[in-house]
Structure formats: structure tokens, C-alpha cells
Structure 1
Amino acid sequence: MRKLFVIGIGAGDPDQVTVQAVKAMRQVEVFFVIGKGAEKQELLDVRTAILAEHMDRPYRIVEIPDPPRDRAPADYQGEVRDWHDRRAARLGDAFEQVEGVGGILVWGDPSLYDSTLRMVERVLERGAVFDYEVIPGVTSVQALAARHRMVLHRIGEPVHITTGRRLREEGLGSSAVVMLDGDCSFTEVPGADIHIWWGAYLGMPDEVLIEGPLRAVEQRIVEVRGRLRAEKGWIMDVYRLRRG
């Protein structure tokens, strides 16, 4: 493989794919997709729909099975590192079978809570030789702010983006955007003066938005989230919390 494009494709809406991303996709001959199994086939379908809308040349899709991992390990950091290593090994094997230009389509942007670039670096460390280029994309954080028509910070205030795990461990300051929260950690945040802006499947036909005082809407979010995940087999959601 001569070159690899790592392309951010936004939160799911084909219209959020940038012109730069489309130009990069149209140079790709083989797209690599890490498969998530039958339950998450829709994630592959969305990528396929984006390619069908924007590609103007023949291309192939190579699906790579995602190695399993423990979702509740005693050593979280160690488990994730091991998982990334096993993913990188599978990617490296797939890269070796391709001549020309490859591409990986990344949900949102490759810089934010995504492991693709770490895996590409691991493949290079193993001795593979190719150039790679990163194309930014619209993140779910940006999509959430746009759909709720909000600014993510007060005047002069920093933007804090964290995970559900860290929110439980560190608590909430004045404001935070929270990703990767499969445990609905907002229910454990104390306080009566907290507001939440929540969104799931942003940019997709099944998009759901809920907003309001946290204590008034938290159970509704838990119930809606649980029902949607059970129906679809997967969920992508993000939310913002703010005190005062």
C-alpha cells in the first residue's frame, strides 16, 4: 500500500462530509472497515451509503473483524492497549494485501476518542511502509451543539470534553461534554441546578434529542436510551451538562 487516508466522515449525515473528505475518498481504491458484527451492521451500511453518494470511481471494501475485549476489566488502560495491539495486527495483515491507495472512514473526527490513528502508528512500528494523511470531520460534539442551537461554553469559559467513566470518577465542574457513557453516569451527578442537552444517532434518520433540567429528564433519557439500544443493538450518544 502506497498511501492511507484516515477520513473523518461526521456523525452520520452524508451532508456533513466535507469537500476535502470527498476529494480524499475519490483517490481511494480500497476502504478498510473494522466490522462490529451483525448487531452493528447498520454502522457499515451508513458508511456504504456515504460512499455510494460521493464516490465517482470503482472501489473495494475490506471488512476486518473486530477482536473481542473485556468491557469491564480490572485494568482498563491495559485492556484497551491490548485491544489496540490486536486491532493493529489485523489491520497490518489487511494492509499487506493491498497495492495502491487505502482509506479508513472514521465516525466524527479521528482526533477525538477514536483509536484509528493509534492503530495506524502501531502498524508502522511493526515495520510497514506507507504514507498516511488525516482528513478532519465534523464531531458528534459539534453536531450536538448545532442540533440544540447552543454554545458549548459561557464567555471566556473552557470547553471540557470527557467520558462517562471520568465523570463518575471526577465529578462535574461548571460544564462538561460527555462521550462514551454506556452507564448513564449523569444520573450519579449530584445537584438540583444542572441542565442537560442529550442527543443520540446525531445526523441519522433515527436522531433523538432531549433537553431540560437534569433531574426532570434523566429517567426519560435512561428509558429512551435503553429502548433504542435494545431495538437497534447499538447506540451512539453524547450530552452536555451545565450547572446554574
Structure 2
Amino acid sequence: MRKILIIGIGAGDPEQLTVQAIAALRRVDVFFLLDKGPVKQDLAVSRHEILRRHTSGAYRLVEVPDPERDRTAAAYPAAVEDWRRRRADLFAELIRDELPDDGCGAFLVWGDPALYDSTLAILDDLRERDVVEFDHEVIPGISSIATLTARHRIALNRIGRPVQITTGRRLADEGFPAGVDDLVVMLDAQCAFTRFTADDQVRIYWGAYLGTPDEILDAGPVHLVADRIVARRAEARQRKGWIMDTYLLRR
């Protein structure tokens, strides 16, 4: 039976790997890496550095281009579903063609595999479709949310209060959810936090490229720091060609 490990590798710092994750890396025969192109080459470099530090080098590396997702499509859910389907087809080929029947393969997932990542859903889909036989194991990782709160030296939750995780798209459409005073926002390309005014009494804790040498942090009453964050975000994206950021809104 082929074995697939889905290993959470943290938000970017090679030292964020857990002892369990390091032990899992050393079990792997074949690592499957998805190449996101030259713009995000430093993501590939980070993965290679993790393997250099934490393995003996006795493995095979299979790198393939990550399928492109249409980020301009009006029908967002349909575009994501199409992208996941093409990724699933690619995963099936990799597992079937590159991994021996008794081999151990692995996908390295930024942060934690259970939080805003498609790998687990894709593998569940493959098992349901029965296109290739394998078993899989999930090794949790340190999420960007955990890194964000650690860098700002704050707790994610307040005593007896709920925390919600959402996307920038939903925040822009729906605003602050009723009954929630602590809101984590991910995947916000439109900077939806700029909608809040002084009357909303909202504070933001923001971070980009968390856990990497390029990490940027900012915090304060959102109506006072929003323009600065937008400018810093735009400058960083222009300089690097991409950006990954996360923030906590606290009412």
C-alpha cells in the first residue's frame, strides 16, 4: 500500500517544524513539490532549505508545475472547483507513476494542512473516485495565525469569547459577523479592513510573509493604520511579485 504524508511545515521559518514533522520527513521516499513559477521561487527555496536541514538527503524529489487558477473569474466557487479538479488529476498521476506500491510519498503544506489548504480535500476526492490506491496521514503544522499572534505577543481569544476565521471576500460582503469580536481574516487581496471607521472601534494586528526573513508587521486602531498597511502591502507585493498576509480584527 502506498503511503502519503501531508506534512505541515509552518508559516515559513525552517525552525517552526515540529519534532513529529521532522520525524515524518525522514520517513519519505519521494517528495512531491508543486512549482508555482518564477515569481514565487522563494517558496520553493524555503522547501528545499527545510529538506536540507531536516533530512539525510536519501529521497527523490519530483517537482511539477502547479495548475493555474483563474483569479479573474466572476464565478469564484466554480473557478476554485475547476482548479481543484485539475490538481486532483495531477496528484493521481504523481502517486500512481512516481511512487512504488510500498513507497512513502509526501506533500509539504504551508502552515497547517487543516486550515485553508486544499490538499486534504483533494486526497479525499481521489479516495472516493478510487483512481489510485493509497493511505494517508496528516502531520499538523504551525499556522500563520499562530505565528501572527506570537509575533504580536497577543492571545488569539479573549476569555469566554468566540473567535471566527473568514476570508477577505466575506468580510467585504458581510462586514463584522454578529456576536463575534475577534475575527481572523485570510486571503484578503482587496484590503477589506479599510471599510472600518473610528466609530467601529476595531483594532488590527496584521502580518505578511510571516515566519520568513521578509516578515512585515503592523498593528493599531484600524482607522489610523489602514492606509499605512495598504501602502506597505502594495510596496511589498510590487517588490516580490506576490504576497501572503493574515490579520486579526479585534472589536
Shorter-chain TM-score: which interval?
over 0.9
**Greater displacement, 193-202 / 72-81:** 72-81
Question: What is the aligned counterpart of 1:188 among 181, 184, 195?
Answer: 195
Matching of residues 15-94 of structure 1 within 5 Å: 15-94=15-94
1:191 Cα deviation after fit: 4.5
Counterpart position of 1:157: 161
Answer yes or no: is 1:167 the counterpart of 2:167: no
1:57 Cα deviation after fit: 4.0
AA partner of residue 110 (structure 2): W
Counterpart position of 1:209: 217
Distance in 1, Cα, partners of 2:151 & 2:46: 20
Instruction: Answer yes or no: is the 8 Å Cα contact 1:33–1:62 preserved in 2.
Output: yes
1:242 Cα deviation after fit: 1.2
What RMSD over aligned residues (CA atoms) do the two structures have, in Å? Answer: 1.3
AA partner of residue 58 (structure 1): A
Post-superposition Cα deviations, 1:38-61, rounded to whole Å, max 9, x if no partner, equal 101111100110110000241122
Instruction: Answer yes or no: is the 8 Å Cα contact 2:26–2:55 preserved in 1.
Output: yes
Q: TM-score scaled to structure 2, two decimals?
A: 0.93
1:73 Cα deviation after fit: 1.9
Q: TM-score scaled to structure 1, two decimals?
A: 0.96
AA partner of residue 84 (structure 2): H
Counterpart position of 1:177: 184
1:91 Cα deviation after fit: 1.3
Distance in 2, Cα, partners of 1:152 & 1:4: 32
1:126 Cα deviation after fit: 4.1
Instruction: Answer yes or no: is the 8 Å Cα contact 2:92–2:126 preserved in 1.
Output: yes
Instruction: Answer yes or no: is the 8 Å Cα contact 1:198–1:211 preserved in 2.
Output: yes
Instruction: Look up the SS of the partner of 1:96 in the other structure.
Output: helix
Task: Determine what percentage of the aligned residue pairs are the same residue.
Answer: 53
Instruction: Answer yes or no: is the 8 Å Cα contact 1:5–1:102 preserved in 2.
Output: yes
Instruction: Answer yes or no: is the 8 Å Cα contact 2:196–2:222 preserved in 1.
Output: no
